[in-house]
Amino acid sequence: MSASVSFEFFPPRTPEAQERFRSTLERLAPLEPSFVSVTYGAGGSTRDSTLETLREIGAHSSIPRAGHLTCVGCPREEVDATIRDYREAGISHIVALRGDMPELGSAFVPHPDGYQGSVELVEAIRRIGPFEVSVSAYPETHPDSRSQAKDMDLLARKANAGATRAITQFCLLNEQIVALRERVERAGIGIPIVPGIMFSPNLEGLSRMADRCGTTIPPSYAERFEGLDEDPATRRLVAGMLAVRQIEALRREGFEEFHLYTLNQAEVIIAACRIADLTPRARERQPA
């Protein structure tokens, strides 16, 4: 099969960031991603800006759009209203995530009038409209899970509820991503596993994120950023080159779909797609 790529953005927070985002979108559009998604803050904190960003994308491009959605901290009525807002905005794809509590490290507690987790959220989305639904998968066991078996059971339930693909949490250990795919195949879960590829040039911020989601940062990865604290341009190059290396290794393992966590960057994403043969021209040369 030929390769495909999708991009994840976050809503710009200032007018200046909004202008930069428009430029980023314009520059990335020629890469013809299969879709672009926009993140959704904890407890719906970016609900309006997420929808505004999705509308902005629709106004300036024909790229298929996906809105993220969580159920943490929100009653069912509010979540359902967001799903309907997405449908009315012409968005037919939702990335459905349980979400984390606003207080870092706190155990998940459902809203008393809310959905109990990601399975109920997927069911609600499919009940309200014929959406494509992407969900999350964890190559390394989810921090709230007691075992890989529990993770597989949850993923199977999300697939049975109507999920159409699983995008992995960022993972820097390819053997873990390959092992996840093998577990999914053994379990008979019939949705594709799409590796999520990280492009963060900020190792400190990435480490905080890794702590929250149970992701390992190998010493060999961290070493690449040593001595670059005051050199953000070189850090971006390093992050991009490490991402390309990971994509190329995963392609040798048979993966052909990749979801890039862009952090609203343009140059490094364009360069990585060119080097990793994920441009439209390169994809045309590849066997179907």
The predicted-structure confidence for 189-237, as pLDDT tens digits, reads as follows: 999 999 999 999 999 999 999 988 889 999 999 999 999 999 999 999 9
- Taking only Cα atoms into account, the Rg of the chain, rounded to an integer number of angstroms, comes to 18
Q: Is 223 among the residues known to form the active site?
A: no
Structural domains for the chain: 4-285 (3.20.20.220)
Which pTM was predicted?
A: 0.94
Could you write out the DSSP letters of every residue in 6-68?
EEEE----SHHHHHHHHHHHHHHGGG--S-EEE---GGGTTHHHHHHHHHHHHHH----EEEE
pLDDT bracket for residue 88 (50, 70, 90): very high
Do residues 160 and 120 lie in contact, with contact meaning Cβ atoms separated by under 8 Å?
no
Higher-confidence position of 164 and 287:
164
Tokens standing for residue 145: 């899970």
Active-site hit among 8, 56, 120, 140: 8
Q: What is the mean pLDDT of residues 279-288?
A: 80
User: Can you tell me the distance from the alpha carbon of 277 to that of 279, in angstroms, rounded to the nearest whole number?
Assistant: 6
pLDDT bracket for residue 119 (50, 70, 90): very high
Whole-number pLDDT of residue 114: 87
